[in-house]
Amino acid sequence: MSSSTESKTTVVITSTTECFCIINGTRYTPGQMILEDKHIGSGICLTMICSDSCVIQNTTTPCPTTPPLPVTCPEWGVTVNETFVICNCTMARCIEDNIIEIIPYECPPLENITCSNGKPPVEVYDKYGCCKQHACDCYCEGWGDPHYKTFDGLFYSYQGECTYVLMEEITPYHHLKIYIDNVNCDPRESVSCPRAVIVSYNNVVITLKNHNLIGAAKLEALMGLSALKLPFHQSGVRVVSSGLNLILEIPKLKVVVMFGVTGFSVNLPFQHFGNNTQGHCGTCNNNQADDCMLPGGKLVDDCAVMANYWQAKDLNNPECKLPPEVSTTAAPNDCSINTVCEVLKSDLFKECHPHLSPENYFTGCQFDSCRMSNPAVVCTSLQTYALACSQFGICINWRNHVDLCTVECPADKVYQACGPADPPTCKDRLDGPYMNVTTEGCFCPDGMQLFSKESGVCVDKCGCLDPSGQGREFGEEFQHGCHDCVCDKASESIICKPKKCSNDNQGTCTDPGFIVVNVTDPSDACCTVLTCRCESSTCPSVDDKCPTGYTPILRVPEGKCCPEFTCEPKKVCVHKGLEYEPGTSVPVVDCQECHCTWNVDPKTQLYKIQCGFVICDEQCEPGYEYVESDTAECCGKCVKNKCVLHYNSTVHIFESGQEWTPFSEPCNKFTCTKIDGEYVITNYKIQCPPFSISNCQPGTVQLSANRCCQVCVEKDKGCKVQTTVDYITHNNCQSKNTVEQTHCQGHCNSYSKYSELGSSSCSCCQASHTSNRTVTLDCMNGDSVSHTYVHVEACSCDQTNCLKGFQDTHTHIGDTRRRRSFRLP
C-alpha cells in the first residue's frame, strides 16, 4: 500500500528558465531521484522524486525484503569491496576470505545546508564520530489555540481537546517522551490551548502546568500530584522558573523544554534525536515533506489530520474531543486585521525578519484574534516570535510597545526580554550545573543578583542574607533589631547576640501612687532604664462625698499621681436637702411664691431663693366663675358654670338646657347639658323628612318653624306611614349613624252630635302593625348600649272617645277633622 503527496516546499521556476527542486540545500533536476526506499521507521520506506514540473513527489511503501548477500569476510560481517569502519576512524575494505585492506578515512568537505525551520545549521559528527557535518537541531514550538511549528518548521493549527504525543523517539535510545495536554480555553468558541506539557524521561514524569488559561499565568511544576519546589534538580532533570515561563532541562542530552502562558517550545539537539522523532512536532530530518506522519509511518497531506492520531493512549485520559470542522489556519473573511498582530511586521521586529519570517506567527495571531474572546491571546504570537528571534541572538523588547501585553514584576525585580533562564546567584559554584537558556521574565536589577536559587531574593552583596532579606559581606557587622550581628564566613550565616546595655541607673519613688518600673530607654530603643511611673491603683482611697448642692471634683495636680478631692458648688439653689435650677419654683412657705434666682450667696456660693406673697387672679374667662377655696389653698379657682362654644372664630355662652342654632345653618343645633356637674355641649343635625313638592297643595310650601325643613299642606292627608331619617337619642346616648324611623300621620273622619248627647265618632291615626328593632347607642361616658325601638309597619284609623272632658262644657264644636299623629321612639 502506498500514498503519494506533493511537498509544500517545492520551488517551481517559470518556463523561460529550467526549474529545479531544493532539499536540505541540495539542488535536484527534473526527474532526478532524491531518495529511494529510504527506511523511515516501522518497516516503511520513503521514495522521493523531483518531477518534470519540479514538484517533489513522495511515495511510501513497505520496505522490500532482500536476501542477504553472501558474506565473504564473515569475521567482519561484510561482503566483497564493502568498506567499513574498524575503530578509531580507521576504514577497511573486504578483499575476500576475511582479507581486508586498510584505507585512509577521508572526511568529505562540509556541505552548506539551509535549515527548513529557519535555525542556523550546527556542526555534528557523523555516526562514527569521525567527520563533522552540518545538521539542523530540532526546534518545535506551539502557541495560541494552538498553532504548531514542527521540528522542520512546518506550520499548522489544531484545536483538539486531549492529551497528545508531542514528541517521541521512533527507536527509543534515550527514553524521552513529551506530551501536550490541550483543553478548551474560551467560554464562547471551540478552541483549545495548551494546559500542560508532560515530560517523561527514564521513568521520571514531570508536568509543567498552567492553572489559569484566561488572564495572568499560574504556573506550577508537578511530579505526580506533588508540586515541586523550584529550582528542582533530580534524576538528571532541572526545572527553573523565570516568572513568565517554566524551563525544564536535561543537561546530559541538551534538551530544553519551555512552557508558559503563551505556549511551549521543545529544543532537541540533532546529534541525539535527528531522524528519530515522531508526533505532533513531526520528524526532525530537515524535511517538511514527511512531518505529517501517522503512527506506523504513513504520510498524510494535512498535519491537522495527522494530529488526531497521536492521542496519548498510554496516559489516563479517557475523554478526547475532536477539533471543530473549521479552517485551522485561516481567519474568517469578515475579521479585520488586528493592530497588535501588525506589530509582527513592523520595524520593531525588523532586525529579525531576515532570519525568520513572521508570516506564520502573523497568521496564528490573526486567527486567535478572530476566534477567541480573550483579547490578550494575541500576545502569545508576539512572544513566541520574540522567543524564536532570541535563538538567533536577536533580543526584542517588544512588550513596552504594546499596552495589551505588558508584564508586572514583583517590586524587587525588573522585566527583561532576554534574560538568563538560570540567572547567576551568590551561591553558584564554578563546577556547578548551569542552564544556558535565554527567556523573558522578571530578573534582578542591574548591580544585583540572586542570593541563591532557592531564596529568590535580589542582593547587592554576597556572603550572608540577613533576616530582613538584605545581603551582607563576610565579616560585615550590623545591628538588626536589638541584636549585634555579624556575617560569619566560616558558617556562611548571620550570628547575632543581644545588644549590651549599661545597668548603672537606679530609681526610687517617694510621692504617693508612683512605682519603680523598667521602661525603654528614649535614647536607645534596645535598652531599658528605671523610672517612676504613676500607678493610680496604688493611690490611697478618698472620701468623695459632698453636701447637697456641691459636686465632688478630683484633680491630679501637675507632677502628681494621685487625685486631690474638693467640693465645688453647683449652679443651683438648695432647700430642705433638694436642689433647684435657677428660674424654677421653690416650695418654701404657703401662700408665698418662691423661686431660685441667679444671685450667688457669698457665704455658700450657692444661688439664693427669693420669695413674695401670692396674688390671686380672680379674673375668669367667659363661662367660668371665680370660687373661693374651701381648703387650705391660698387662692380659689375658676369653675365652669355655662357651656362655652367656640364656633367659626366666635364664642357662644349658653345655659344648661338651652339650645343654639347658627343663623346660617338652621339644621345644625347645639344643646348645653349638665352631666355630673360638667357642662357638655351636644351637637346634632336635624334630618328633614322626604319632601316632594308634587305632593303639596299649591301655594302652601314654606319653611318649618325652626327654618330647617320645607313643609306644606299635602294633597293626600289620609292616615298612612310616614318615614323620617334621624339620630335616635335616649338617656344621653345617641346612635352613631342616622336611623330610618316611621310613624303614623294623616286625617281620620270624626264627628260629634250635641243634639244627641253621648253620640260621637272619633278616630285617630294609629299604628296597626309594628315590629321591634335594635340599634347601638354611644353614650357621653364612652359606653355603648343596645336600644330597642318600635318600627311602624302599617297605620289605620281607630275609634276613640273624642268627647271625654268636653261633655260637661256644653261647648259646640261641630263636626271637625282633627290631625292626630303617633310617633314611637
- 443-463 in b/e form (b: 16+ CB < 10 A) is bbeeebbbbebeebbbbebbb
C-alpha cell at 196: 500542560
Most confident residue range from 97-106, 269-278, 361-370, 525-534: 269-278
User: Is 693 a member of any domain?
Assistant: no
Query: Structure pTM?
Result: 0.53
Average pLDDT for 417-426? 88
379-390 vs 359-371: helix axis angle to the nearest 10? 160
* More confident: 687 or 7: 687
| Structural domain containing residue 465 | 461-500
DSSP 336: P
Average pLDDT for 47-53? 82
Query: Helix, strand, or coil here: 628?
Result: coil
173 with 303, same domain: the answer is: yes
Long-range CB contacts (within 8 A, 24+) of 475-484: 481/526, 482/525, 482/526
Q: Give tens-digit pLDDT for 482-510.
A: 888 999 998 889 999 988 887 666 678 88
User: Is 165 a member of any domain?
Assistant: yes
Q: Give tens-digit pLDDT for 85-125.
A: 888 788 888 988 888 888 888 888 888 889 998 888 999 98
Secondary structure string (H, E, C) spanning 664-721: CCCCEEEEEEEECCEEEEEEEECCCCCCCHHHECCCCCEECCCCCCEECCECCCECEE
User: CA 269, CA 809: separation in Å to the nearest integer?
Assistant: 160
The number of residues in the chain equals 825
**Chain centre to alpha carbon of residue 715:** 90
Which helix (H) or strand (E) segment is 768 a member of?
strand 759-779
753 with 776, same domain: the answer is: yes
DSSP conformation letters of 84-131: EEEETTEEEEEEETTEEEEE---PPPPPP---TTSPPPEEEE-TTSSS
9 with 142, same domain: the answer is: no
pLDDT grade, residue 2 (50/70/90)?
Answer: very low
- Rg of the Cα atoms in the chain: 61
Query: Helix, strand, or coil here: 643?
Result: strand
Q: Show which of 306, 326, 346 is a domain's final residue.
A: 326
The CATH number of whichever domain residue 765 belongs to comes to 2.10.90.10
The pLDDT value given to residue 824: 34
User: CA 516, CA 512: separation in Å to the nearest integer?
Assistant: 12
Nearest 5 degrees, angle CA 722-CA 720-CA 771? Answer: 70
- Strand 163-169 relative to strand 678-685, pairing: unpaired
User: CA 634, CA 191: separation in Å to the nearest integer?
Assistant: 105
Question: Is residue 813 pLDDT above 50, yes or no?
Answer: no
pLDDT grade, residue 11 (50/70/90)?
Answer: very low
147 with 263, same domain: the answer is: yes
Q: Give tens-digit pLDDT for 569-612.
A: 999 999 998 999 999 999 888 888 899 999 999 999 999 999 98
320 with 360, same domain: the answer is: no
221 with 304, same domain: the answer is: yes
User: CA 211, CA 216: separation in Å to the nearest integer?
Assistant: 10
User: Is 81 a member of any domain?
Assistant: yes
User: Is 819 a member of any domain?
Assistant: yes
Alpha-carbon distances, residue 635 vs 48, 188, 271, 610, 639 (angstroms): 139, 96, 130, 20, 13
Report how many helices (DSSP H) and strands (DSSP E) the chain contains, helices first: 5, 60
Q: What values do phi and psi take at 602, rounded to 5?
A: -65, -20
User: CA 520, CA 528: separation in Å to the nearest integer?
Assistant: 4
pLDDT grade, residue 324 (50/70/90)?
Answer: low
The pLDDT value given to residue 369: 85
Question: Is residue 191 pLDDT above 70, yes or no?
Answer: yes
Sign of CA dihedral 286, 290, 296, 302: positive
12 with 60, same domain: the answer is: yes
CA trace torsion 691, 695, 701, 706 (10° rounding)? -30
Question: Is residue 186 pLDDT above 80, yes or no?
Answer: no
Sign of CA dihedral 638, 642, 643, 644: negative
Alpha-carbon distances, residue 347 vs 341, 352, 387, 544, 551 (angstroms): 13, 10, 17, 90, 89
**Chain centre to alpha carbon of residue 721:** 83
316 with 334, same domain: the answer is: no
Residue with grid cell 367659626, as numbered in its chain: 648
91 with 42, same domain: the answer is: yes
Secondary structure string (H, E, C) spanning 443-502: ECCCCCEECCCCCCCEECCCCEECCCCCEECCCCEEEECCEEEEEECCCCEEEEEECCCC
User: Is 730 a member of any domain?
Assistant: yes
Q: Show which of 451, 482, 500 is a domain's final residue.
A: 500
The pLDDT value given to residue 204: 92
Average pLDDT for 131-135? 90
387 with 476, same domain: the answer is: no
Contact between 114 and 25 (Cβ < 8 Å): yes
DSSP 68: P
The pLDDT value given to residue 228: 93
Q: Show which of 347, 362, 392 is a domain's final residue.
A: 392
The pLDDT value given to residue 215: 62
User: CA 148, CA 281: separation in Å to the nearest integer?
Assistant: 8
pLDDT grade, residue 164 (50/70/90)?
Answer: very high
365 with 226, same domain: the answer is: no
User: Is 659 a member of any domain?
Assistant: no
Most confident residue range from 234-238, 430-434, 689-693: 234-238
User: Is 476 a member of any domain?
Assistant: yes
96 with 207, same domain: the answer is: no
User: Is 489 a member of any domain?
Assistant: yes
User: CA 10, CA 213: separation in Å to the nearest integer?
Assistant: 38
Q: Give tens-digit pLDDT for 632-668.
A: 778 888 988 999 998 888 899 989 989 989 988 899 9
- Strand 592-600 relative to strand 607-613, pairing: antiparallel
- 476-492 in b/e form (b: 16+ CB < 10 A) is eeeeeeeeebbbeeeee
State in Å, rounded, how far the first CA of the chain is from the last one: 126
Domain count, the chain: 5
